Amino acid sequence: MTVALISRGYLAKTLILGSKNVGKTTFRRRLSIQLEGYESIKDIVNDFDVGFGSRTFFVRGKTITVQFWELASHEGQVPHLPEMYMEAAHMAFILCDVTNIKSIESIPYLVTDFWAYNGRGIQPIMILLNKADLLENWNQIKKLASFDYRDWIDFLPEMQAECLIDVITKIEPVLNRMGLNLGFTPCSALKNHAIITSARFLLKELLNLTEYQNRRNPLEIGDQFDQF
């Protein structure tokens, strides 16, 4: 089951994951219409912070309300997130700092946790190279309207490009087997670049997954979606 049915629209729980200081909070606030008085909570038991937000999108004739859950990671550790917060998530943004190799190396760990603990298996992901405005060729990068890494990987510093290619070769085949594409693009939460377009790409992939699952196991509309 892929998207939760909510009256005449749909509801999609979306995680925002990444190592410490990669810009998750700024990214979430760019995406979200804030929930007054309920933007974040402190989980004292797990020593963990969770930020919230939501926004409604209209994609392929469907109204989809997206809930954003920003999950923090602890500095100096391999990223590992409390399983309870990933439960029932439909899709995820994976953020890294394009100037920080360690944050790029953390991507496979975050993706593995998301797929292992969301309760739905392989779900769509979007990998975002945040802080791309700090790169020397930012003016060229920001003109590329593409989510295919092949279109812009040559614009990245050599070390980052090599690290990202290694990440892609681990993740992309898994998504392709589910009929999904890997969303992958530089962005700048600070300059509000490639934020909303990334969300739209991810939602289209979520709908693609729904269609793929229907072809393999046709279901009635009432059975296909979680009732909200």
44 vs 176, more confident: 176
Per-domain boundaries in the chain: 4-218
Q: Cβ distance 96 to 37 under 8 Å?
A: no
pLDDT digits (tens, 9 = 90+) for 79-132: 556 677 888 999 999 999 999 999 999 999 899 999 999 999 999 999 999 999
Sequence-distant (≥ 6) Cβ neighbours of residue 45 within 8 angstroms? none
What is the reported pLDDT for 216? 57
What is the reported pLDDT for 33? 66
- Please list the residues that pair with 70 across neighbouring strands: 16, 51
Q: Cβ distance 179 to 212 under 8 Å?
A: yes
- Strand duo 9-18 + 62-71: pairing: parallel
Query: What is the pTM (predicted TM-score) of this model?
Result: 0.84
What is the reported pLDDT for 218? 44
Beta strands in the chain (DSSP E): 4-6, 9-18, 40-43, 48-59, 62-71, 91-97, 125-130, 183-186
What is the reported pLDDT for 4? 61
- Asked if residue 46 has pLDDT above 60, the reply is no
Please give the average per-residue pLDDT across 38-53, as a whole number: 59
Q: What is the DSSP string of 74-122?
A: -TTS-----HHHHTT--EEEEEEETT-HHHHHTHHHHHHHHHHHSSS-S
Q: Which amino acid is at 167?
A: V
Mean pLDDT (the chain) is 81
Backbone angles phi, psi at 188, to 5 degrees: -140, 105
**HSE, side-chain direction, 13 A CA sphere, residue 191:** 13
| Domain 4-218: top CATH class | alpha beta
Please give the average per-residue pLDDT across 37-62, as a whole number: 68
Query: What confidence category does residue 45 fall into, taking pLDDT thresholds of 50, 70 and 90?
Result: very low
What is the reported pLDDT for 227? 32
Query: What confidence category does residue 215 fall into, taking pLDDT thresholds of 50, 70 and 90?
Result: low
Instruction: Choose from 36-40, 118-122, 215-219 the range with maximum mean pLDDT.
Output: 118-122
Q: Quick check: helix, strand or coil at residue 204? A: helix
- Asked if residue 149 has pLDDT above 50, the reply is yes
Which contacts (CB < 8 Å, 24+ apart) does range 150-158 have? Answer: 152/185, 152/186, 155/186, 156/98, 156/129, 156/186
